[in-house]
Every structure is written in C-alpha cells, then in structure tokens.
Structure 1
C-alpha cells in the first residue's frame, strides 16, 4: 500500500516513536520487527550501517509485507546512489544523519519521503526550503530539547524528530514532547543487546510497549 507523505507523517505521529535498528543477522532482524509490531510500532527505521545492510533490508522488506500497515524505511543514507538502491527494493522512506543535497534531490525527484539530519537553525531552514516535511534533530543528546523549542519558535510549521540519546523514560520523553517534537527516533536505548543475544524478544516487546504507553500518557 502506497502512502502519501502526509499519511506517513500522520503514522509517525500516531505512535510518536520510530525504532532505529540494524543487525547483520536477518533472523534477528525479523524477530525484532515482529516484537516491535506486536508492541504497537507501525513505522520502523533499519539503518544502513552493516556491510550487508542492503541484503538484510531487501529480505526484511519482503518479510515485513505480512504487516500491511507497517512502514519500513532505511536510515544512514549518505548518497543518491544508496537512496536509489534502497528505493529500488521498496523502502518506504529515507533518513540521513546530515542534510545532503543529492539525497534530497533524488528523493524529491522520485517522490520519496525523506528525513534529513540537521543540527543548526540554518540547516533546518535549508531542509525546509528543499521540501523536507520532517527534520531529524541529530545528535539529539547534544542538541537538547532547547534546540527543538528554538527552531519551532521561528519555524512552527516544520516537524521535528530528535534521534540519538533519546531515552525511554518518563522524564526524558516528557522533556522532548513538551518541547514540541512530532515524534522521536530511538535506537540503542530501546533495544536491550543482552536480551537480543539471548533471543529474549519478549523483553524487547515489553520495553517498546512501555515506551509507547509512556508517550501516550505524556501527550494527554
């Protein structure tokens, strides 16, 4: 099912959280997708970090088709070439750690929802001027919630998503959402490496579910 850019934005806002994950083992990646979906995740970012990320993502994309309402996108994209490769195998969106014009241009040309990483007001403005609907504040732990507030005070129509150092705690999530974020990206803080190594995916499911409930409570 093809979603419009506005519908993708809305799906990201519904849960308020996008898990950010990568693993070279496809069986583990599949298990993490399953646990995330069962917990309530509907938008998932797999990052292009391992040497076999393309092969894993390709298989994961086919596997995830059993969840017709799950959006699976690719992150850590630094070039138009990579954006093209992942577009070819069906990525639902593209995320970059930086504002990269060639990636922006390619995604705009192909009608792909793209999310650039920005760390200054100037970069956010440039991203907005290039058509970005959602900007990734990265690295979130260095920029802080004050950066979100400052950006939204002068560009209230842009949507912000901090990634990097976001923690699944009431205190941390409250700080981000009260600053006005559209959603948060969460990786290492969300996925318990020891649980993954032991194959205890029910632990991941529980952690993700708790984080989603916390976000909903904060929004009330």
Structure 2
C-alpha cells in the first residue's frame, strides 16, 4: 500500500485506536473488535510488552484491511524496530527530526507530536505527513479551530482526552482524524474480555465521526 493510500485510510477511519500496553494474548480479539466496529487504524504503543511482535502479528493477519502502526516512538532506534516489524505509520508524542526522516525513507506515514505553531510548522517542513496535536485536551477543540486559520494546510490529529462527548467537536474544528486511547480502549471491557462491547464502543466512535463530517 502506498503512503497516499495509507493517509487516505487514516482519514476514512477518522480514528486511530491507541492500544497501550495490551495483554499480548488478547491483541487479536482486540483488533478484530475494533475492525468490526469500523476502526481500522490501530496503534500499538512501543512501550508495550512484545510490541513489535504484536504489530507484526496483526499486520500479517489483516494485511491491507487494517493499518497497524507503532506509537510512543520517541527516537530513531524505536522507529527502526517498528519499521522492521512492518509498521504502516509512526505515531509519536514528540517531534524528532531523525525519526521523521527514517519513516519517510521507508515509506511509513510519520505523525510526530507537536503543540505550538512553531513546532507544527517545523515538523511539517521536516517532512511529517501529519502532525499529532498532543495533549489535545489541555487547550480543547477551540485551539484546533484557531490553528486552522494560518495552518489549515497542515493535517492535524488531536490526541489525548478525546472521548465520545468531544470527538465531533474536534472533527468539526478541522481534525484530519483523532487519536483515541483510554476512552475507546475501555479498561473494564478489556478486563472482562467483552470484545462485543468493545466493538460496539468502536462503532459509536466511528458513527460520531461520520455524523460530524455530514454537518
């Protein structure tokens, strides 16, 4: 899959599921539930146990039906391991120029974490495909709207504090997509192995994005 196709898939999904430190034995039913709910862009954080093994396993199982990327990629070394595992994208809480360069070199979508206009422009100028506005909840969806005036040409993915109550506001205020962590990867559902419940929650998130884009 080409990078442009991957970026389009991220947009169509509207949501990147942030899967942080899952039980490696549950990663397949988690992935299956998210896809069943209409979310096919999955981030497995690099600080998870057996992270690269899980990325490779999910990617092998679903192929182009899902985008599988690495999150919490803080540096060049982590990025290299993630790419070797077959990551479609690199999602980071910070901006590291070398990490962006490596991702681009191997055709992965690069999404560094930024907050200020200076950081946003610097990352995009260095070759970032998308930028992650993090932590988004600190300034709220109105901050994203304010950024659209001078920086609307740069596709942004707010992450951190996104939930069912505010996801529509972020989409309406210009988000290319959003990153959803704890509010989507519900701890109680995972502990109970209620994967049908997880699929339904994913479905609700996906519907919120669709509704917002119709407005």
TM over 0.5: yes
Q: What is the match of residue 118 of structure 2?
A: 122
1:14 matched to 2:12:
yes
Aligned residues: 214
RMSD over aligned Cα, in angstroms? Answer: 1.5
Runs (5+) with no aligned partner, structure 1: none
* Change in 2 beyond 3 A, CA 1:95/1:218: same
Matched with 1:84 is 80
- 1:159 is matched with 155
Contact 2:7-2:109 at 8 Å conserved across structures:
no
Partner of 1:98: 94
Q: In the TM superposition, what whole-angstrom CA distance separates every residue of 1:34-74 from its partner, at most 9, and x where no partner exists?
A: 00111112211111122432333333333333xx3211111
- Between 1:149-158 and 1:204-213, the stretch displaced more is 149-158
Establish whether residue 197 from structure 1 lines up as the match of residue 181 from structure 2: no
Instruction: Give secondary structure in 1 for the equivalent of 2:94.
Output: coil
Indicate the SS of the match to 1:45: strand
After TM superposition, give the deviation of residue 144 of structure 1 in Å.
Answer: 1.6
Corresponding residue of 1:25 = 23
TM-score, L = length of structure 2: 0.93
Q: Is the 8 A contact 1:78 1:96 kept in 2?
A: yes
Contact 1:137 1:143 in 2 (8 A): no
Determine the C-alpha separation between the residues in 2 that align with 1:219 and 1:58. 32
SS in structure 1 of the partner of residue 65 of structure 2:
coil
Corresponding residue number in structure 2 for 1:35: 33
Distance 2:6 2:59 in 1: 17
CA–CA distance in 1 between the matches of 2:198 and 2:160? 19
* 1:74-125 deviations in Å (ceiling 9; x for gaps): 1110111111111112111111101111201211222321100001100000
Structure 2: runs of 5 or more not aligned: none
